[in-house]
Structures are given as C-alpha cells and as structure tokens.
Structure 1
C-alpha cells in the first residue's frame, strides 16, 4: 500500500517477492511490532527513488521540468495542466528505454535516541502506540464463572494504512488477551508438563468471544510512513488489566496473577467474607 501510494498505481501492481537470505541484505527480524514502521519507511524511500526515475522519464516525454510534474492515479501529469501527461506504463517504458530495468533501494534507521553510554538505546523507540480499553463482564459469585460481554478498544496506531487489517489485528489481540486472562497456562508437576498440546492449552472458543467495538484514534506520527505507527503487539496489552479491573468491579476480588480462573475468584470472595467484608454486590 505504501509503495502504491507513492507511485500512484493500483495496489495490484505491487508484489512482494520471496528472497533468499543468502543473497538478501541482513535484517534482524520481524518482531517487536516494527514491520510497518521500519520496513514501511524503507519501502517508501525505495518507492520515492523509483518515482524520481519515472518523473525524469516523464519530463523528457512531456517537455516539462520535473518540478512541474505530479503523480496521479496510474498517470504522471503537469500540475497546472493535468490534461498534459503520460500514463504510468508510458513513463515506465520511457525510463527503461534510457536505463534498462529499473531498480531502487531504500533503507531506514531510527533517529538517535537515549544517551551515549552502552545500552542507552535499549527499550527506546521512535514512536509508541497507545490504547484505552473498557471491558464489561458477567460474573457468577457462587461458581466464579465469568464471561466477557463486551470490549471497547480505543487504539492509537497513528494513521491506519489498512483500516480493516488494523481492526482485525485489534480483535485478534483481544482474543489472545482473553486467552491469557481466562485459562492459558502451562501446568507442571515437578518437571513434567501436564498440558503439552493445544487440546489442554485453553484458548477461547469463538462462542466465548465478546462483542468488540474498535475505535481507531490518534494523529499521524511525524516519523512513521504516512503517519503510521504499529498495531502488532500493542493492541493486546490494555485488554488484560481491563478484564481484571472489570472482575474486581463486579465482585470485589483483585487478582494479581494470570489466568484468573473461577476457583481463584471464589477463593477471593470467601477470603473477603472471612475478613468480614461482604461481597461487593451483596
């Protein structure tokens, strides 16, 4: 999407090719929610390089200087005379006639942050996402069973480059968070793992998912590609305390470890009664 936006072409023209790690430039990996920000900036710079080559070719074809040209949809045209211009393919062919196959590269390194001492940059980032979530739960104080009824998720990822994908990422992150809250755990007896497969590792079923309302908020980030930040791991975090606080608000039991299982809720309610503190909803 970033490359297509820079070049003014249809998204179907852009293809991501598989590469061989033996011959491709080194990269430290796809993690830490860095792909949109780091690779997006690099892809934009490569596209800007290619765009400059096409503008020069279009300049020769139209007789107008590069400074007067602009990219439109599948077209390069004169800014003050949009009827004068060439198609994207005409500009591409003209550029290839002069230089052969066109190649462009782009790289991005985040600006210097932190101090000058060793390790000063650890944990720093050029941009941070933010989230504010509200959870509504229903809790049975007799059994400790509970259910997430609805989740409101306000998330700041800068400009969402693909709104549908970002909303899906937020919903998927909430599913992961509910798994951590409701049942995911690795249970050991001594050194033996008692639940070694996904049959015993409890993740939420589709029927256990709440209604989710995603609100994408925030402003464009000045360092991100077209103002984008991240929507990778960030959307998961706020859902965890939102669920814990909702359960506390319902039955007055504060849990300090995950998962929050029904037996822990019942035990917390019993402890409150022993201390002479009635259940909050009584």
Structure 2
C-alpha cells in the first residue's frame, strides 16, 4: 500500500509584484488552508497562471499559490471551473495605507489575444486529486470516523453552490459505494432507494448553501441629492462583511469598474453604483 502526503505547499512561485499591469489567464484549482510562510500561517489559492503580455509574456506557473486576499476574492467563484479567468494584475490602495493585488477587468482586445493564445497553446490543468479512504473490513456499512470521511472536491463544492446536485455529490457516491450488498443488508429499504437516503454528510443541498456569501448582503445606501453626500450604510447583519465608503471612493479614483470594486472592498454593487453617481467627495 502506498500513502499520499497531504498537500500544503504549492508548485511554481508567482509574485504579483513582478507582473504588475500584465494580462494573465488564471485557472483556480483549489484552496489551501493554514499554509506556513516565512511571515506566518495564511490561506492560499492554488492556481495555474499564464502571462500573456508585458515583460513576463509567455511565463507559465503551475499549481502556484496566490496569497493576496484581493486575488482570492476575484477568483473564489471560479474554483473548479474549466474556463480560465482573464484580467490584469493591478495594485489597489485601501484605507489606512494598505494595498492589495487585484485582477482588473479585460478589454475586447485582451479577450481576442487570450483566445488566440489558447487556440495555439491549449491548457488542460490536471484535476485536483482527492483520495478516498480504504474500505473497512467486516461491516463495510459502519459509519466511518469523522476524520476518515471523504471530502468534497472544490469542483463539487462549486457545483453544489450553483444548485447542480448531479455534480455536487462526492466522488465516493458517484463511484456507487452505496450499491446494495450481495447479502441484502438493506432488505428493509425500498427497492429503488433515492439518492437522498444517503447519510446527511453526502446529501446535496436542496437549493442554496445554508449560509449565503457575504456579498449577497446589500444594505440600502442613501444619497443626499442636495449635497451629494453618501449616508453611512445600515449595519450589516451578523456575519456580513464590513466595507468602507472611503475604500470604494479610493477605488473609483483609480478608475476601477463597479464589479472589481465590489469584489475588492466587499461593498454591494448597488452601493458602489450609488457612490459613483454621487461624484467625488
């Protein structure tokens, strides 16, 4: 029997600062949590990256780790997606003098260049390998210990969030590990047991995840038509991501579009639009 070591590190090293303002294709692969770095422990996103223009044009980075919170926010919803994300690496100024790396939106010409590259050099990232525990001997239907349960892949988690139960089921279920044993240990169950009869840990969500992403909270924004001042947004419910109008205005001064500002600051896109309409403060 061979044993696979846990994946905590990455592959190639991609430094956003060395590719500022360059156009990149990014294939988000999976999340890595509690990665040890020289500056401490941090979460990261494993990705494949290809640089399309600028001094670094043609550079490829396989299974590289992106630690920037801004880049992770830009790419979070694309985990497991076969289509790559396209954008330019930019540095965004936040309140308090902090900065973060982001992906700025692409132009039509950028999209044409990326399509031409992929036609000439197709990229097929290797799937993320998830290893299932060995079956138990004897009573194979006994509940497995908590630490030994197979985990959903990132691709299946994205499918579950989008409401696709066919893809959201873990690999162990798709492999028909719930097939009726020859000894008919499930004789009391109906002849055609629906997928919902599997243990709750494997059941696909009926419609949406139990907890909505922070970006779904959209507090109303009031704008004083006389002075153009934006009133402080209503307090977000517990668990919602906090955002600052100052951060939004800083991003507006840098010419970012509403979607990028919303992804960077956590502000609802309606609030970004209202602040943009109010003009510079």
TM-score with structure 1 length normalisation? 0.25
Asked which structure has the greater CA Rg, the reply is: 1
TM-score with structure 2 length normalisation? 0.25
